[in-house]
Structure 1
Amino acid sequence: MTKGTQALKNVAVAGAVQRPPQGSTEHRVAVAGASGRMGHMLIEAIRASEDCRLAGALDVATSPAIGNDAAAFLGHASGVPVTADIAKGLEHAEVLIDFTRPEGTLAHLQVCRERGVKLVIGTTGFSEAQKAQIAAAAKDIAIVMAPNMSVGVNVTLKLLELAAKALATGYDIEIIEAHHRHKVDAPSGTALKMGEVIAQAIGRDLKQCGVFAREGVTGERDPSTIGFSAIRGGDIVGDHTVLFAGTGERIEITHKSASRATYAQGSLRAVRFLAEQPNGLFDMFDVLGLRDRDQ
């Protein structure tokens, strides 16, 4: 008996995936990185949703979860095995949620584009050339790409946009972020997005004004810069603080994540948004209706 077969026998068939109420729309969702921390959170959120169904589960060929039921970790049978075969994993899916690595996401992107599968991308660390590949694919399929799918984080981004416009002069801007020891990129995609939002709001180019390292005798701080600091340690899910430091006062806007569940719920909102989009590249401002009409 294979490990995958044994896993299927160990879960309760009585725990089958919930079906949406009669007459409602069902979204068939595949998950990339299905055996990882975020993959598990996504599968649990899909399972708890009334309008989403797990339709595929992808992971790298070396994952010990290959061949197992994707929901075995919950003690349930989804009937969806974890596979390294991208085409097979997307066979029954309408949309793929991907929180993996840039190289993996781009491999998934190619197959999604070929098969007309929409994509929610929470992966960070893309180069400009890789972002261009995603934008090109969005001409054929609908994609939501955001460095952070949390509803709270995206509301925070809107607050930062408003604050930056009001505090454009006389305030030094610093972005401090903290994540768990396993995170491989720095600064975080969310921190970079915060910097981009602030820079755009005050008419600057983050590529020109971003400062990502300080050491030794650096001289006085250039007031036109936006500074970044990255902390890595323990199991910190994700903390972000933007400091506006003026003369006689400091304003701090902070968001702290205590669970990846916030990312999963935001991802499902993106799935529902994509159901109405034939193609195009979107972000969570589009999903949440936070974008100004003139943007």
Structure 2
Amino acid sequence: MDLLLVGYGAMNKRVAALAEDRGHTIVGVVSPVETPDCPYSLFSSFDESLPNADVAIDFSHPNLTKEMLSSDLAIPIIIATTGEKDTLVEMMKEKAKSNPVFFSANMSYGVHILTQLLQTVAPMMDDYDIELIEKHHNQKIDAPSGTLVKLLDAITEEARPDANPVYNRSQVTEKREKEDIGISTIRGGTIVGEHEVLFAGVDEVISIKHTAQSKDIFANGALKVATQLVNKENGFYTYHNL
């Protein structure tokens, strides 16, 4: 495949390396910021004359993703950008009328399985308190992670529609309420990504956890999706319907 990369941060650098190892070609990179270490043709915006590509892979920033979704880019698009989820999904669905568009806040297939597990387990856990914990490296700028929001959505949609996410217990001096779901965010070192859901009951705790040991799982996920998306009709895709 000929790939157009949107953004050239740590993730798309891994996408590029793995793609070339598998015989794919990076035809260009769209990045509005200075990228002196980029060995590919660099474009600052979608207003420029971009090279022909089979698919675009976006690991960038919501601002650049919104620019892409507002442009006339007419190829399959894979979006793994996190942040401003509601706005981006609305724009993706509009773009999907003319392009195949895939979105996941986490390109790991294992996280997709974790989400499926939660959709099954959470409705059985009415008598358990739920806590969500996520850990990432010290360079990650958004908190909580898009993946944690994805897991929280799975729980609230399937089992806890009245849930009250609690992001900072230091702001209150009262006991935990039944509808509370605690959200804990940790940033440090080079932690790739760790997400854990705790179901705490009387005298027992059930934990479901996913640990990413390398960024390659996300790059591999994007490339695997790309091989499928290039053959899809226009529409909005996720791991649930790809």
Per the TM superposition, whether the score is higher than 0.5 is yes
Q: Percent identity?
A: 32
User: Per the alignment, in what secondary structure is the counterpart of residue 116 of structure 1?
Assistant: coil
The one of 60, 66, 69 equivalent to 2:39 is 69
Corresponding position: 1:161 with 2:119: yes
Hey, what does 2:158 align to over in structure 1?
Answer: 201
- Structure 1 residues 89 and 224: alpha-carbon distance in aligned structure 2, compared to 1, 3 A threshold: farther
CA distance in 1, matches of 2:235, 2:223: 18
Contact 1:174 1:227 in 2 (8 A): yes
Q: Which amino acid aligns with 1:232?
A: R
Hey, what does 2:14 align to over in structure 1?
Answer: 41
Corresponding position: 1:131 with 2:86: no
Look at both structures and tell me which one has the larger radius of gyration over its CA atoms: 1
Hey, what does 1:76 align to over in structure 2?
Answer: none
Aligned residues: 242
Q: What TM-score comes out, normalization by structure 2 length?
A: 0.92
The CA deviation at 1:253 is 0.7
Contact 1:57 1:89 in 2 (8 A): no
User: Per the alignment, in what secondary structure is the counterpart of residue 285 of structure 1?
Assistant: coil
Hey, what does 1:284 align to over in structure 2?
Answer: 239
CA distance in 1, matches of 2:205, 2:169: 21
Hey, what does 1:182 align to over in structure 2?
Answer: 139
Hey, what does 1:143 align to over in structure 2?
Answer: 101
| Runs of 4+, deviation exceeding 6 Å | none
Alignment of 1:108-127 (within 5 A): 108-111=68-71, 114-127=72-85
The CA deviation at 1:157 is 1.1
Gaps of 5+ in 1: 1-26, 71-80, 288-295
CA distance in 2, matches of 1:148, 1:275: 20
Higher strand share: 2
Q: Deviations 1:210-229 (Å, cap 9, x if unpaired)?
A: 22221144322111222211
Q: Deviations 1:167-216 (Å, cap 9, x if unpaired)?
A: 2x1100110001111111111000000000111121515xx522222114
Corresponding position: 1:235 with 2:190: yes
**Which of 1 and 2 has higher RCO (CA within 8 Å, sep 6+)?**
2
What is the CA RMSD across the aligned residues, in angstroms?
A: 1.9
User: Per the alignment, in what secondary structure is the counterpart of residue 55 of structure 1?
Assistant: strand
